Structure 1
Amino acid sequence: MTLRYLILFTLSVLLLSCRKDNESPLSTGTAEWKDAPVVSSQSGNTVIQIQGVQGIKWNARITEGAAWCSFSLANSIPEKDGVLTEGINALYVYFSENTDKEDRKASISIQIGEGTPISLVLTQNGKISGTDAETDTKRPNKAWAEIPDYQANPAFQYVTHYTHLNGKSVRNYSICYDQSHKAALWVAYPLHKCYLGNLDRTDEWTYDPDIESQYQIYVKRAYKEHPKYDRGHQIPSADRTQTREMNAQTFYFTNQTPQVGKGLNQDIWQKLEEVIRKNYICADTLYVVTGAYFAHSNTKATDNKGVKTDVPTHYFKVLLRTKSGMTGKWVRQCDASQLQAIGFWLENKAYSSTQITKDICKKVSEIEAITGFTFFPGIPSQVKNDFNAIEWNLN
C-alpha cells in the first residue's frame, strides 16, 4: 500500500508540474497588432497592444527589418524594455517610406515575463504609383472629400478614428497632428444627421490612443489659466451624439487646444457650431475641416503637469456641400455649379458679439493661402475661390 501511494503521489506531482509549465506562457501576457499588420508604402507608425499581469517586465526586439523599423520616431532603436501597467500597454512601431516596388517585412519578438516569446510580422506594401494612397491603412483615405492634401513633415502625424454605427465601422474624424505644437492643425470630418442623437457629453478627457502620450498635452482638468482658456474642441462633442463611443473620441487630448473661453469658445465659436448643425447639414453630407493656426508661439498655456504649450493665434472652419443638399451624388461627381464652399476665420480672442455674419468669413482659397493646406482637393478651384453669403444665409 505504501508503495502504491508513493507512486500515485509522485505521478500527481509530475502532472501538476507539467500543467504549471504549460500554462505559464499563456498566463503571462499577450501581444497583438492594434490594426491590420499591413501598412502602406508611406512612412508612419502602427501600434502593438501588450496586456498581462501588472508589474511584469517585457522586452521587444526587431529581429528583422531594423533598417527601416524602429521603436522611436527620432532615433533608430531596435529594442525596448518596459513594465506592464493595468489595461492595454501601447508599443509604437515607426517605419520609413518604402520606395521599392516590392513588399518588405519586419519581424518583432516580444518576451513577456518568463513566457514563450511572441513573434509578430509587419508587412509594408511596395510603392504602387497612383493607387497607394487609396489603400493606406494608417493615414486618412484621400478619397474622402473632407481630407486635405497631405504635407510631408516629420512633425506631422495623420490619424483617423473609426467608430461603430448601425453595426458597421465608419470614420469618425481624421486629424493632422503637429507634435511640435502638440496640437491638431486640422480635424476633418463628415457631418450628417446619422451622427446626431440625444446622448450627453461624456466629458471623459483622455489620451489619444493612436499618438504617443509624450507628444500630447495632459488636460484631464482645465488649463492652469482657466477660465481664460477652455479645452476647446475642434470637432464638437455636439456633432457626435449618436453613440457613446463616437462622443468619447471627441474628448481625446489631441482634439482640443487652449481656446479663449468667454467671448469665443463659449460664445461666438459655439454659436457657429450650432448654425452649422442647424442650417448647413444636408442629405448629401456636409464636409467640415476645423483647424488651429499658429502665426507665432509667443503665448503659452499650462497643462495639469505644469508643461507649457503653444496657444493658437487663430481658428478656422471650411465647409463644402452641394447647393441643393439632395443630389444623391458624391461631391466629386458634381460640377462647380452644383457645389458651394465657405470658410470662417476667427482670432483666438474674446468677441463682443455672437452673431455669425460674413464679416468672419473668408474664401476657402484665402485660408489655404494662410495655412498652407489644400482643402477639398479634386473639386473645381472656382468653388473655393468665392462664396455667396446669401447661399449660406449670412448677412
Structure 2
Amino acid sequence: MFRYFLIVFLSLTLWACGSDEGAEIAPSGTAYWNNSSSVAAQKGNAAIRMEGTAGTQWQAEITEGSEWCSFSLSSKIATKEGTLVEGMNVLYVYYSDNINDAQRQATVTVSFAGGKQTVLTLSQKGQVNSPEFSTSWAEIPAYKEGTNFQYVTHYVNLNGKEVRNYSMCYDKSHKGALWVAYPLHSCYIGGLDRTDEWIYDPDIAEEYQIFVAKAYKEYPAYDRGHQIPSADRTMTREMNAQTFYFSNQTPQTGKGLNQSIWMNLEDKLRKSYMCSDTLYVVTGAYYGNASKQATDNNGVKVDVPTHYFKVLLRTKSGVSGKWVNQCDASQLQTIGFWLENKAYSESQPSKAICKKVSEIEQLTGFTFFPGIPQEVKNDFNAIEWNLN
C-alpha cells in the first residue's frame, strides 16, 4: 500500500512540474553584438547587448584574445559579472590597435544563471585590407583606383561562421557609396524588425561621413535612402544594424521614389528574383553633374545623387546548384535598373526603367560581374524578369 501511494505521489508531483499553471519562470538571458562582430584595425570598443529577465545573474569571460581585449579601458580585465536590470544592459569590450597585417579574433563567453551560454566572436582587421573583399565573390565589381575611394566589407556571424554582409566602394568626396554589392539569399532573410539606429560606419573615418542620426534638414524632400535595404538583412540583429551605417545611405527623393517605385523594386527582388542559387546585387548612387545638396544634422552640406541604379545577376533556372562562374552564358541572366533621383508617377517597376548592364557600366565607369561572359551583360529579356 505504501508503495502504491508513493508512486501516485511521484506521478502527481511530476505532472505538476510540467504544468504551466503556477510554475515559476526560470531566469534567462541572451547576448549579442550591438552593431558588428567585425572591427577596424584601430583601437576602439565594441558593445555587447544583453537582454533577459530582470534579476538574472550573468558572467562574462574573454576566453581568447585577452592580451588585446579587456572589459576595462584602463586595465586588463578578462572577466566580469553582474545582474540584468530592466531596459538596456550593455557590456563594452575594449581592444587595442592591431599592428599586424593579419586579421585576429577574440572570443567572449557570456553565461547566464540557469545554464544558458552564448559564445561571441570579435574579428579585428589587420593592416593589409585594400581592397577589403574577395574578388572571387560574384557580386564584386572590378577594382577601380580612385583618390577618394575606400573599399569596405562588413562581416557578420551566422550560425557560428563569419560571412560577408555587404561590400562597398565609398567616395569620401561625396560622403556616399558609389556602389554597394551583396548576395541576396533566403539565409539572410528572417523575421526581425529594423533597428532604425543610424550610426557612423566604424570602418570609415567619421570626418568623411555625413551625420544623419535624424532626418535631413530638407525632409520630407529627401529620405535617408538605403543602398542595401534593411529588409534584405533580417536574419540577425547584427546584419540589420549594419544597414543603418551612415555610409549606406544617401539623400534620396522620398515620395515617388524611395517610398514608392524604388521600394517596390526592392520588394520584387526579394519576392520574385531571389533564388536558391543566390541573386547577386549591386546598388549604386550616380552623381553625374550633381548640383543639389542636402544638409545633415550638423549643418554640413552633401551632394545629392542625380541617379540610382541596380544591376542583377543570377542563373536562369535559379536551382542549378552551380556557382555563376561555373555556368556558361546560356545559363545566366542579368538586368539593370536606372532611375533619376526624382518623384515618379508610376509606382511599379517596368521595362521603362531598365537598361543593359553594359550600358550602366558605360555610364558609371565601373565593370560589374567581371567573372561572367560579356555577352550576358549586353542584353536582357524583360519577360524572363517578369516585366512589361
TM-score clears 0.5 = yes
Q: 2:274 aligns with which of 263, 276, 281?
A: 281
Q: Relative to structure 1, is the Cα distance of residues 211 and 324 closer, same or farther in structure 2, using a 3 angstrom cutoff?
A: same
- For residues 168 and 229 of structure 1, the distance between their equivalents in structure 2, rounded to whole angstroms, comes to 37
Whether the aligned pair in 1 keeps the contact of 2:285 and 2:309 (CA below 8 Å) is yes
Q: Mapping of 1:1-395 within 5 angstroms?
A: 46-49=41-44, 139-395=132-388
Deviation at 1:162, TM superposition (A): 0.4
| CA offsets 1:112-133 (integer angstroms, 9 cap, x no match) | xxxxxxxxxx9877xxxxxxxx
Q: Relative to structure 1, is the Cα distance of residues 170 and 53 closer, same or farther in structure 2, using a 3 angstrom cutoff?
A: closer
Deviation at 1:47, TM superposition (A): 2.4
Deviation at 1:140, TM superposition (A): 1.1
Other structure's SS at 1:392 match: coil
5+ residue gaps in structure 2? 1-36, 46-69, 75-90, 103-124
Look up the equivalent residue of 2:157 and give its one-letter code.
Answer: H
Deviation at 1:46, TM superposition (A): 3.8
Whether the aligned pair in 2 keeps the contact of 1:186 and 1:292 (CA below 8 Å) is yes
Deviation at 1:165, TM superposition (A): 1.1
- For residues 277 and 370 of structure 1, the distance between their equivalents in structure 2, rounded to whole angstroms, comes to 26
Look up the equivalent residue of 1:326 and give its one-letter code.
Answer: V
Other structure's SS at 2:290 match: coil
| CA offsets 1:43-66 (integer angstroms, 9 cap, x no match) | xx8423378877x8xxxxxxxxxx
Other structure's SS at 1:174 match: strand
| CA offsets 1:350-384 (integer angstroms, 9 cap, x no match) | 00111211100000000000000000001000000
| CA offsets 1:4-41 (integer angstroms, 9 cap, x no match) | xxxxxxxxxxxxxxxxxxxxxxxxxxxxxx979xxxxx
Whether the aligned pair in 1 keeps the contact of 2:281 and 2:312 (CA below 8 Å) is yes
Q: Relative to structure 1, is the Cα distance of residues 247 and 363 closer, same or farther in structure 2, using a 3 angstrom cutoff?
A: same
Whether the aligned pair in 2 keeps the contact of 1:47 and 1:210 (CA below 8 Å) is no
Look up the equivalent residue of 1:48 and give its one-letter code.
Answer: K
Whether the aligned pair in 1 keeps the contact of 2:71 and 2:94 (CA below 8 Å) is no
5+ residue gaps in structure 1? 1-33, 37-44, 57-85, 95-102, 106-121, 126-135
Whether the aligned pair in 1 keeps the contact of 2:150 and 2:169 (CA below 8 Å) is yes
Other structure's SS at 1:291 match: strand
- For residues 132 and 271 of structure 2, the distance between their equivalents in structure 1, rounded to whole angstroms, comes to 30
Look up the equivalent residue of 2:237 and give its one-letter code.
Answer: R
How high is the sequence identity, in percent, across the aligned residues? Answer: 67
TM-score (norm 2): 0.70
- For residues 291 and 326 of structure 2, the distance between their equivalents in structure 1, rounded to whole angstroms, comes to 44
Look up the equivalent residue of 2:291 and give its one-letter code.
Answer: N
Whether the aligned pair in 2 keeps the contact of 1:46 and 1:138 (CA below 8 Å) is no
TM-score (norm 1): 0.69
Other structure's SS at 1:390 match: coil
Q: Relative to structure 1, is the Cα distance of residues 284 and 53 closer, same or farther in structure 2, using a 3 angstrom cutoff?
A: closer
Could you say which residue in structure 2 is the equivalent of 1:13? none
- For residues 321 and 104 of structure 1, the distance between their equivalents in structure 2, rounded to whole angstroms, comes to 35
